[in-house]
Amino acid sequence: MKILVTGGAGFIGSHVVDTFIANGHEVVVVDDLSTGRRSNLNPAATFYQIDIRSDKLGEVFEKEKPQVVDHHAAQMDVRLSVVAPPLNKKVNVLGATKFIELARQHNDELFIYISTGGAVYGEPEYLPCDENHPINPICPYGASKHTVEHYLYMYHELYDLDYVVLRYPNVYGPRQDPHGEAGVVAIFTGLMLNGEQVIINGDGDQERDFVFVGDCARGNLLALTTENSNTIFNLGEGKPTTVNDVYRELKQITDYQLSADHGPAKVGETRRIYLEAKKAAEELDWQPSVGLNEGLTETVEYFRKAEAGV
């Protein structure tokens, strides 16, 4: 099967590409490398360096004729979405709907869309959040990702385009960028390995659902063949882990000698969120297989090797 993966040079997208290729699929990657890295690209994939809003995308579809689109590319910085909502909309809504329309025009078999379980629900009314939890995002990022879910439902009803939506938790693992705006695991790991000061935003008791990147990549592979399409799946551990928990685990793994400082909490971030993934277990045959300590250990080892140039 030929699959077009947007954002396939990014942290999560590149792992998805690797998983597809390892399972015998042909992959085309579209990525503008604004946040993705050329070094993440699987050499077996065909690569196009194009912005997801570009009119040149039609030429890619004409030439490559993908059967499936797997849409990972996004503006995924919650804090940037708060200060620059128009940019967030242009990338996350206009970019995604351009691919949905191209998939319709070319009669693609399936559209896999990556949404966010950490931002669409807002402050939860109950925990863990299942797929039927009310949608009340408190940041433009969450609102934009949910908007595209409605487009997919509409395109299925109007044009019979099949889709699977995967709402990701907090994903961590090798290749995550420890510089600038990135996941807390990558940021803490980078600072700890360099002996630099770790700053925890707020009190650190914020609760999150951390899932290893390889488990999320496997969710995409399962979405290719599921008979339960045209629906939404949470991917998650289903139990809370605080930022302080992550700090303590990484401090032990890295033998970090400093104590953390605390800074102000960030606007637009949900205080407590973790996801019920029972539906994914029952209908997608997915559940996480890598525990937090194992995943953090593998992540630290990756960054150690990267620092050493291995």
**Which are the catalytic amino acids?**
141
- List residues bridging with 138 in a β-sheet: none
Give CA separation, 164 vs 40, 59, 153, 199, 275, in Å: 25, 25, 10, 37, 17
- The candidate with the shortest Cα–Cα distance to 235, out of 217, 257, 255, is 217
Other C-beta atoms within 10 Å of 169: how many? Answer: 25
SS (H, E, C) the chain: CEEEEECCCCHHHHHHHHHHHHCCCEEEEECCCCCCCHHHCCCCCEEECCCCCCCCHHHHHHHHCCCEEEECCCCCCHHHHHHCHHHHHHHHHHHHHHHHHHHHHCCCCEEEEEEECCCCCCCCCCCCECCCCCCCCCCHHHHHHHHHHHHHHHHHHHHCCCEEEEEECEEECCCCCCCCCCCHHHHHHHHHHCCCCCEEECCCCCEECEEEHHHHHHHHHHHHHCCCCCEEEECCCCCCEEHHHHHHHHHHHHCCCCCCEEECCCCCCCCECCECCHHHHHHHCCCCCCCHHHHHHHHHHHHHHHHHCC
Cα-only R_g, the chain: 19
How far, in Å, are 192, 235, 249, 256 from residue 196 at the CA level? 6, 33, 17, 9
